[in-house]
Amino acid sequence: MADGYLRRTVITRPILTTEQQDLLEATITEWKTACNISSRIGWDVGETRKTYLQDLAYDEVLGETRLGSQHAILATHQAAAALDGVEAIEDLDEHYKTSRPEFTSNTVKYDTRTMTLFDDGSASLSTVDGRIRCDLNLPDEEDGYQHEYLNDDEWEITESTLSKRDDEYYIHLGFRKDKPEKQVDKQDDDEDRTVLGVDLGIVNIATTSTAYFASGRELRHRHRVFERIRGNLQQTGTQSAHRTIQQMSGRESRYLRDQLHQVANQILEEARTHDCEYIAFENLKHIRERAPPVKEFHQWAHRQLVDLVEYKAEADGISVEFVDPKNTSRRCPECGHTSEGNRVRQSAFECESCGATQNADYVGAKNVGWRYVRRGLQSSRRTGDSQLALKSGTVTPNRGFVPSD
């Protein structure tokens, strides 16, 4: 991440009385109203900058809701972030129609001014009617990962989120600490760097040069079913249908996030297993040219996956890099012959020159990684021999294939 911090999220549940639950539910309701007021104001004038939208919307938010001043500020910032995300989608594809962000999720943001954590495992939370103090449902110290962050002074609490789901409340505690200083410029000076190549596709949402295939079949199926049901409910137009769409959207989002987390974790495991210092992806801006029927969904999924890998790789000291994917699906990794005719079918590759046959996504992953390996040879400062990680060894420009021990 570009701000100089490592960031982590810790999930726990607050232990609440009925009165405290009512206060938090009211706070969530007011928060959604505040975010929607800010979203409307920002949308009308085209403003996506946090401080500028805060100046425009703060007074109205404070006058129309029961939120305190700091929560009113946070709501304007939340709306600005959502508006900025819409603007980014429009920049990515000028033909993709967007609408004003609407806040319907049962969540509310907290920061260090609206939430305080105490050493005894309790927390103080701002509500629409003062503060409440409650215990957090933490596991035993020796068993719970939460204590790794709560008890380590290097990690400081930052912006967090309270959410309500199925009548239960959860707190996603945000933590951050300074990134370790880089000792050298790895891209130029590593003696030997090992690269994991990753191809992003439709049939397989991700394929690595070490032959890990993450199928996208179930993701596509779930998304198609969701879109069909949502379309039917939208035609109905009733309030009940609208509530059902909201509930389905939440379940769909949680499912997709969980699946992408699992794929990201496996990509990182491949990198660690094969001692890779780098993970190479294709530049995402080219993906939309290759997935016209479902491009919006797959562009989103690929972007989310890459973000997750970057986030997770950072903690392991693994760098994520990007290369131009031009001809990565058409170049033979065995002999280098490049031709559109090499791509026999969506999933099949057969070189017209040497006759090599492989899975097309696997070919793409190897070519993506190989392109980054070759890029390193152009640096006059490097003295090592970079290598591409494969399932059963590595391949280098100078030594060719080297089998694993």
Q: pLDDT: is 306 or 223 the higher one?
A: 306
pLDDT at 1 over 90: no
Tens digit of each residue's pLDDT (9 = 90 or more) over 225-246: 777 777 777 777 777 777 776 7
SS (H, E, C) the chain: CCCCEEEEEEEECEECCHHHHHHHHHHHHHHHHHHHHHHHHHHHHCCCCHHHHHHHHHHHHHHHCCCCHHHHHHHHHHHHHHHHHHHHHHHHCCCCCCCCCCCCCCEEEECCCCEEECCCCEEEEEECCEEEEEEECCCCCCCCCHHHHHCCCCCEEEEEEEEEECCEEEEEEEEEEECCCCCCCHHHHCCCCEEEEEECCCCEEEEECCCCEEECHHHHHHHHHHHHHHHHHHHHCCHHHHHHHHHHHHHHHHHHHHHHHHHHHHHHHHHHHCCCCEEEEECHHHHHHCCCCCHHHHHHHHHHHHHHHHHHHHHCCCEEEEECCCCCCCECCCCCCECHHHECCCCEEECCCCCCEEEHHHHHHHHHHHHHHHHHCCCCCCCCCCEEEECCEEEECCCEEEECC
Range with the poorest average pLDDT among 24-33, 36-45, 167-176, 302-311: 302-311
* Span 168-181, average pLDDT: 84
Q: What is the pLDDT of residue 383?
A: 42
pLDDT of 91 reads 43
> What tokens appear for 95 in the block?
């033909």
Provide the pLDDT for residue 281.
92
Task: Give the per-residue pLDDT at 88.
Answer: 45
- What six digits make up the tokens of 28? 């969530």
State the residue for tokens 């031009």: 326
Residue recorded with tokens 């370790």: 180
pLDDT tens string 101-145: 888 889 999 999 999 999 888 999 999 999 999 999 987 665 567
Percentage of the chain surpassing pLDDT 90? 30
pLDDT, tens digit (0-9, with 9 covering 90-100), for 182-197: 433 444 444 467 899 9
pLDDT at residue 188, as a whole number: 44
Tokens of 299: 């562009």
What pLDDT was estimated at residue 396?
66
Q: Please list, residue by residue across 75-114, b when 16 or more beta carbons sit within 10 angstroms of its beta carbon and e when fewer do.
A: bbbbbbebbbebeeeeeeeeeeeeeebebebbbbbbbeeb
Cα–Cα distance for residue pair 375/384, rounded to 1 Å? 13
